Amino acid sequence: MIGIIQYGAGNIFSLTAALERLGVLYGMINKEADFELYDRYIIPGVGHAGAAMQKLEQTGLVPVIKALKKPVLGICVGMQLLTAYSEEGDSNLLGLFPIKTLRFAGSPDHKVPHTGWNQVFAEQDSALFANIPNGSHFYFVHSYYIEYDKLYTLSSTTYCNKFSASIMRDNFYGVQFHPEKSGAYGETLLKNFSKI
Amino acid sequence: MLSKRIIPCLDVKDGRTVKGVNFVDLRDAGDPVELAWNYSQQGADELVFLDITATVERRKTMVELVKAVARQINIPFTIGGGINEITDADALLNAGADKISINSAAVRNPELIDELAKAFGVQFVVVAVDTRAIAGKNIVHLNGGRVPTEKESLDWILEAESRGAGEILLTSMDHDGTKAGFDNHFLKEVNKAVNIPVIASGGAGNVQHFVDVFEQSNVDAALAASVFHYGEILIPDLKRVLKTNNIEVREV
């Protein structure tokens, strides 16, 4: 059963709706004692990474999250929180990945936010992408991206530059795109995470 | 490569789609959720729901519709119509809308764009602009193109961008309903002038019009209503043609 970490950054209606469609059970995490009720966790998030980090700190759950040993999936800004730093608000983040979140340079040919369906290419084999063809399209909407890093990048996407579409380190996973809005393959990815 | 997006637009009144729909295998052609689901299965990349409800109950109806769509549809969608303040937008976001589209409210109160972008992020804020040519100038119009404003469309679009619009939905009222093709000339001008995505709207009549708008203006997305609702253009066919013209699309 998935525990969704509630910290007030963005709506989770679409995420819980997707889990319900998939028949994946979930509940909400509001305090430390809630963590033991679940065997895996999702950190959602939209909006401003710096503001999201402040909200997460206010919950007092940061030390617990950093010490988690069960699978954790950060989505969009929830993924960016796992990195060490974001240019958005010049913010220090959880630091579970020693990599940075940077702003797209942008140009008339590469508008920012990066909005729409882009292809995701595997850099490493992962159960997270089981039954998802290499190069499938996922739905992105973001102005900041996580730098590509050979060690942690599970899959990459190119927009302005090559960046991390998904990352993994030990039990921590992150996806920049929105699986809950990415059609059938997005749903497959959520299903895969529920079984990792 | 980032795909060009194909976006069917559904007009909704009191929770029901109002433009005629002539679709195969629909149990209830007026049910926006069933129609939306059908489009998502066909390979639509995104959906826009334009709420034209005029009653005081509108906010509640919109929120219920958004929830119903979010429960069943696995692609992003935008809600437009009647969003005048932060609380309207907040309710829609919490009900599962990915973006909101504001039009007249932004023209009347441009600071609404700043407020929405600050509260929810630029990715949430689509500014819809209805433009019509008057004496060779593109002028912003309100009320479905009936009421001209003082604003030149490109100036207003640039202002909207600087205030925090994350996307521009540009409808040419001169082309809307003509089925003679998009306003590729002005769309190209706007698309080159801004650094945020542009959705083309107004004038789609056949598959070639979509090829033309992407090739000639390089916009990020194209929106249409009746050609999809009446089954004149099927999205899989459209995407096949776009692909053979080397335009990047997502196939399902």
DSSP string spanning A16-82? HHHHHHHT--EEEE-SGGGGGG-SEEEE---S-HHHHHHHHHHHT-HHHHHT--S-EEEETHHHHTT
Percent of chain B with pLDDT over 70: 94
Inter-chain residue contact B74 with A18, CB threshold 8 Å: yes
List all residues 6 or more positions away from B155 whose beta carbon is below 8 Å from its beta carbon: none
Check A48, A114, A142, A178 and give the catalytic one. Answer: A178
Task: State the best of B1, B2, B188 to mutate against chain A, taking most chain A CBs within 10 Å.
Answer: B2
Query: Under a CB-based contact definition with an 8 Å cutoff, are residues A9 and A55 in contact?
Result: yes
How does residue B20 score in pLDDT terms, banded at 50, 70 and 90?
low
B5 touches chain A (CB under 8 A): yes
Q: Active-site residue A36, yes or no?
A: no
- The whole-number pLDDT of residue B54 equals 67
Rg (chain B; Cα; Å): 17
Q: Give the sign of the dihedral formed by CA A122, CA A128, CA A130, CA A131.
A: negative
Percent of chain A with pLDDT over 90: 91
How does residue B28 score in pLDDT terms, banded at 50, 70 and 90?
low
Beta bridge partners, B84, equal: none
**Domain spanning A2-193 has what CATH number?**
3.40.50.880
| CB atoms near residue B134 (< 10 Å) | 11
Integer Cα distance of B90 and B93 in angstroms: 5
Integer Cα distance of A102 and A106 in angstroms: 12
Q: What is the mean pLDDT of residues B219-242?
A: 94
pLDDT tens digits along A94-153: 999 999 999 999 877 899 999 999 999 999 999 999 999 999 999 999 999 999 999 999
Task: State the best of B92, B190, B250 to mutate against chain A, taking most chain A CBs within 10 Å.
Answer: B250
Mean pLDDT of chain B: 92
Query: Under a CB-based contact definition with an 8 Å cutoff, are residues A19 and A28 in contact?
Result: no
List all residues 6 or more positions away from A169 whose beta carbon is below 8 Å from its beta carbon: A96, A97, A152
Encoded amino acid at A165, one letter? A
Inter-chain residue contact A116 with B74, CB threshold 8 Å: no
Query: Under a CB-based contact definition with an 8 Å cutoff, are residues A173 and A73 in contact?
Result: yes
B252 touches chain A (CB under 8 A): yes
List all residues 6 or more positions away from B6 whose beta carbon is below 8 Å from its beta carbon: B43, B44, B45, B46, B210, B221, B222, B235, B238, B239, B249
Residue in the block written with tokens 């202002």: B159
Integer Cα distance of A117 and B167 in angstroms: 15
pLDDT tens digits along B70-98: 999 999 999 998 899 999 999 999 999 99
Q: What is the mean pLDDT of residues B210-217?
A: 98
Task: State the best of B47, B123, B127 to mutate against chain A, taking most chain A CBs within 10 Å.
Answer: B123
A111, A159, A187 ranked by CB distance to B74: nearest = A187
A108, A116, A186 ranked by CB distance to B45: nearest = A116
Bridging pattern class, strands B125-134 and B137-142: antiparallel
Interface of A with B (CB under 8 A): 11, 13-14, 17-18, 20-21, 46-48, 106-109, 111-119, 137, 139, 141-143, 158-159, 178, 180-184, 186-187
Residue in the block written with tokens 């980032």: B2
- SS3 of B239, please? helix
Residues in A closer than 8 angstroms to B72, CB to CB, are: 17, 21
Query: Under a CB-based contact definition with an 8 Å cutoff, are residues B157 and B190 in contact?
Result: yes
Integer Cα distance of B124 and B156 in angstroms: 19
pLDDT of residue B125 exceeding 90: yes
Query: Under a CB-based contact definition with an 8 Å cutoff, are residues B10 and B243 in contact?
Result: no
Among the listed residues B32, B8, B79, B46, the one whose alpha carbon sits nearest the alpha carbon of residue B250: B46
Secondary structure letter of residue B3 according to DSSP: P
Among the listed residues B96, B67, B68, B99, the one whose alpha carbon sits nearest the alpha carbon of residue B83: B99
- SS3 of B240, please? helix
ipTM: 0.92
pLDDT tens digits along B179-191: 999 999 999 999 9
pLDDT of residue A39 exceeding 90: yes
Among the listed residues A93, A102, A34, the one whose alpha carbon sits nearest the alpha carbon of residue A66: A93
Among the listed residues A17, A43, A24, the one whose alpha carbon sits nearest the alpha carbon of residue A175: A43
Check B51, B88, B98, B130 and give the catalytic one. Answer: B130
List all residues 6 or more positions away from B34 whose beta carbon is below 8 Å from its beta carbon: B26, B27, B28
Both tokens assigned to A132: 């998802």
Secondary structure letter of residue A171 according to DSSP: T
Size (chain B), residues: 252
pLDDT tens digits along A177-192: 999 999 999 999 999 9
- The whole-number pLDDT of residue B18 equals 79
- Residue B158 CA, chain-centre distance (Å), reads 18
Bridging pattern class, strands B167-172 and B198-201: parallel
Encoded amino acid at B38, one letter? N
Q: What is the mean pLDDT of residues B227-245?
A: 94
Q: pTM of the entire structure? A: 0.94
- The whole-number pLDDT of residue B25 equals 57
B250 touches chain A (CB under 8 A): yes
B46, B96, B252 ranked by CB distance to A17: nearest = B96
pLDDT of residue B26 exceeding 90: no
Helices B58-72, B86-94: crossing angle, 10 deg rounding = 30
B26 touches chain A (CB under 8 A): no
Q: Active-site residue A178, yes or no?
A: yes
Q: Active-site residue A160, yes or no?
A: no
- A67 to chain B nearest CA, in Å? 30
- The whole-number pLDDT of residue A113 equals 92
Residue in the block written with tokens 């990474």: A49
